[in-house]
Amino acid sequence: MPELSQRTGMPVSEVKVKGRWRQLSLLGGTMLVDSTEASLVSSLFPLIRQSLGVSLGALGVLTAAGKVAGAFTGPLWVWAAQRWSRKSVLVVATGLWGVWGVAAGFSQNFGQLLVLYTVLAAGYAAAHPIITELIGDLFGGSSRGRAVGVVYGAVSLVSAGIGPLKGQLAGVDDGWRWGLWGIGAFNILLGIGLWVWFRDPGRGAAEEQLADLDRATRDAHSKLTRDKVLSLLGIRSLVVLLISRLMSGHLLVGTFGVVFLVDVYGFSTQKASIVLLPFGVGYFLGTLLGGVAADWAHRRSPRHGLVAVLQAAQFVFALVAYFGTQFDYGSIALFGVFFALMGATQGVNPSVNRPMVMAITPPELRGAAFAVYVSVFEAIAWAGFSLGAGFLGDAVGLRTVFLWVLVLLMLANGVFLTLLYRPYADDVARVQRELHARREAALLVRG
Cross-strand pairs, 11: 4
Q: Which residue has the higher pLDDT, 294 or 361?
A: 361
The pLDDT score that the predictor gives to residue 300 is 80
Residue 426 reports pLDDT greater than 60: yes
> 372: closest CA among 156, 158, 133?
133
The pLDDT score that the predictor gives to residue 129 is 84
CA 49 to chain centre: 27
Domain borders along the chain are: 20-205+235-446
Residue 312 reports pLDDT greater than 90: yes
Q: Which residue has the higher pLDDT, 324 or 437?
A: 324
The pLDDT score that the predictor gives to residue 141 is 65
198: left (phi over 0), alpha (psi -120 to 50) or beta: beta
Using CB atoms within 10 A of its CB, is residue 396 exposed (0-12), middle (13-18) or buried (19+)? exposed
pLDDT (average), residues 116-142? 83
Residue 445 reports pLDDT greater than 70: no
pLDDT band at 1 (very low <50, low <70, confident <90, very high): very low
pLDDT band at 167 (very low <50, low <70, confident <90, very high): low
User: For residue 291, which phi and psi values (nearest 5 degrees)?
Assistant: -65, -45
pLDDT (average), residues 276-295? 84
Residue 160 reports pLDDT greater than 70: no
The pLDDT score that the predictor gives to residue 123 is 85
The pLDDT score that the predictor gives to residue 9 is 46
pLDDT (average), residues 355-364? 87
Q: What is the percent of the chain where pLDDT is above 90?
A: 16
Residue 10 reports pLDDT greater than 50: no
Distance, first Cα to last Cα, the chain: 14
pLDDT (average), residues 22-43? 73
pLDDT (average), residues 143-156? 77
Q: How crowded is residue 371: how many other Cβ atoms within 10 Å of its Cβ?
A: 30
The pLDDT score that the predictor gives to residue 39 is 66
pLDDT (average), residues 363-385? 81
Q: Per residue in 56-74, pLDDT tens?
A: 677 778 877 877 888 888 8
Residue 436 reports pLDDT greater than 60: yes
User: For residue 11, which phi and psi values (nearest 5 degrees)?
Assistant: -60, 140
Residue 137 reports pLDDT greater than 80: yes
> 261: closest CA among 156, 270, 388?
270
212 Cβ contact list (under 8 Å, min separation 6): none
pLDDT band at 432 (very low <50, low <70, confident <90, very high): confident
pLDDT band at 414 (very low <50, low <70, confident <90, very high): very high
Q: Which residue has the higher pLDDT, 261 or 229?
A: 261
DSSP code, position 397? -
DSSP code, position 431? H
pLDDT band at 313 (very low <50, low <70, confident <90, very high): very high
Query: What is the CB-side half-sphere exposure of residue 389 using CA atoms within 13 A?
Result: 32
pLDDT band at 318 (very low <50, low <70, confident <90, very high): very high
Mean of pLDDT over the chain: 81
pLDDT band at 321 (very low <50, low <70, confident <90, very high): very high
pLDDT (average), residues 334-359? 91
Q: How far is CA 112 from CA 62, 105, 441, in A?
A: 11, 10, 55
Residue 335 reports pLDDT greater than 90: yes
Residue 8 reports pLDDT greater than 50: no
pTM of the model: 0.74
Residue 19 reports pLDDT greater than 60: yes
The pLDDT score that the predictor gives to residue 431 is 87
Q: Per residue in 182-221, pLDDT tens?
A: 878 888 888 888 898 888 887 777 677 665 565 665 555 5
Residue 323 reports pLDDT greater than 90: yes
Distance CA 25, CA 32 (A): 10
Distance CA 16, CA 18 (A): 6
What is the CATH number assigned to the segment(s) 20-205+235-446?
1.20.1250.20
Distance CA 235, CA 431 (A): 11
pLDDT (average), residues 248-276? 84
pLDDT band at 138 (very low <50, low <70, confident <90, very high): confident
Q: How far is CA 368 from CA 15, 156, 238, 391, 397, in A?
A: 23, 25, 12, 33, 38
| Amino acid present at 331 | S
Q: Are 184 and 100 in contact (CB under 8 A)?
A: yes
Asked whether the CA dihedral 64, 68, 71, 76 is positive or negative, the reply is negative
- Give the three-state DSSP class for 11: strand
The pLDDT score that the predictor gives to residue 4 is 46
Residue 407 reports pLDDT greater than 70: yes
